[in-house]
Amino acid sequence: MRKKLVVGNWKMNGNRARNDVLLSALLEEARSEAVEVAVCPPFPYLDQVGRVLSEAGIALGAQNVSSFEAGAYTGEVSPAMLVDLGCAWVIVGHSERRTLFGETDETVLAKVRAALEFGLKPILCVGETLAQREAGNAELVVGGQVDSVVSGLGADVAAQLTLAYEPIWAIGTGRVASPDQAQAMHRFIRARLESAQVASSEVRILYGGSVTADNASELFAQPDIDGALVGGASLAAAGFSGICRAAAVVAA
């Protein structure tokens, strides 16, 4: 049985005072035995957020990681640094990093490798644009993104991945994928893993893109949707806690 996982991606938001307010509300509301919860703040706040979360059974994650170990890489943050700060998770290959910062399938593979090597759990993001979906190429694009990492890692290592299907047209737009659309793509991704000999029954595939407390239950009820990667709604304690509660209800 795959335990539901809800991950908050704060993106480039927050400051120390606002984080404190959000965290104290989260501690009251977002805890549940039945669900795994993680929060990914911006790098400068990992320490602040991690100190609070560690008392609450909520895991800490980062939004990005360098593929390099250490040395002359100005502006980069290494996997060892993330581990040192208490991170368990790291988001890799988010569409904003792919489109705005030029990350390619090769970069993403290198980052996933580096994360695994240091004991971080990578959340590999995949997803298609609206134009790609409308051209009937959604599976081709997503399948290609999955394949490039899986073939680079090999089937045994790839079984350690967590994936997040995030259709780009649904991110930050309020236009959530329908439960059927999301389930179909999650099923496709799991089948794709299986065809690459990856033992996929324990691999969690999260959905991301305009998830809210109102639409989460229906998504979580789908057999291949194992949780959510939440952007905007993770910045308000009530919204994020509502999503965590929806996951707990489905898991019960």
Catalytic sites, residue numbers: 94, 166
In angstroms, rounded to a whole number, what is the distance separating the alpha carbons of residues 141 and 160? 22
Judged by CB under 6 A, the residue of 166, 200, 220, 240 near ligand PGA is 166
Count other C-beta atoms under 10 Å from residue 202's C-beta.
11
Q: How far is the CB of 33 from ligand PGA (least distance, A)?
A: 25
171 near ligand PGA (CB under 6 A) = yes
Q: How far is the CB of 154 from ligand PGA (least distance, A)?
A: 27
Q: How far is the CB of 121 from ligand PGA (least distance, A)?
A: 16
Judged by CB under 6 A, the residue of 69, 119, 172, 238 near ligand PGA is 172
40 near ligand PGA (CB under 6 A) = no
Tell me the sheet residues that pair with 123: 91, 162
Residues in the chain: 252
| Nearest in space to 46 (alpha carbons), one of 77, 71, 4 | 77
In angstroms, rounded to a whole number, what is the distance separating the alpha carbons of residues 129 and 147? 18
Q: How far is the CB of 229 from ligand PGA (least distance, A)?
A: 4
Cβ neighbors of 30 (< 8 A, separation 6 or more) are 37, 56, 58, 237, 240, 241, 244
Nearer to ligand PGA, 167 or 198 (CB): 167
Nearer to ligand PGA, 82 or 171 (CB): 171
Q: Reduce the secondary structure of 165-219 to three states and give it as a string.
A: ECCHHHCCCCCCCCHHHHHHHHHHHHHHHHHCCCCHHHCCEEEECCCCCCCHHHH
In angstroms, rounded to a whole number, what is the distance separating the alpha carbons of residues 214 and 228? 13
Nearer to ligand PGA, 45 or 240 (CB): 240
Nearer to ligand PGA, 198 or 229 (CB): 229
What is the size of the binding site for ligand PGA (CB under 6 A)?
A: 13
Nearer to ligand PGA, 125 or 198 (CB): 125
Q: How far is the CB of 118 from ligand PGA (least distance, A)?
A: 23
Judged by CB under 6 A, the residue of 4, 5, 8, 9 near ligand PGA is 9
In angstroms, rounded to a whole number, what is the distance separating the alpha carbons of residues 170 and 44? 28
| Contacts to ligand PGA from residues 208-237, by CB under 6 A | 208-211, 229-233
Where does this chain touch ligand PGA (CB under 6 A) — which range of 16-24, 66-74, 206-214, 218-226?
A: 206-214
| Nearest in space to 60 (alpha carbons), one of 2, 8, 126, 113 | 8
Q: Which residue is nearest to ligand PGA (CB)?
A: 231
CA max distance for the chain: 49
Contact residues toward ligand PGA (CB under 6 A) are 9, 166, 171-172, 208-211, 229-233
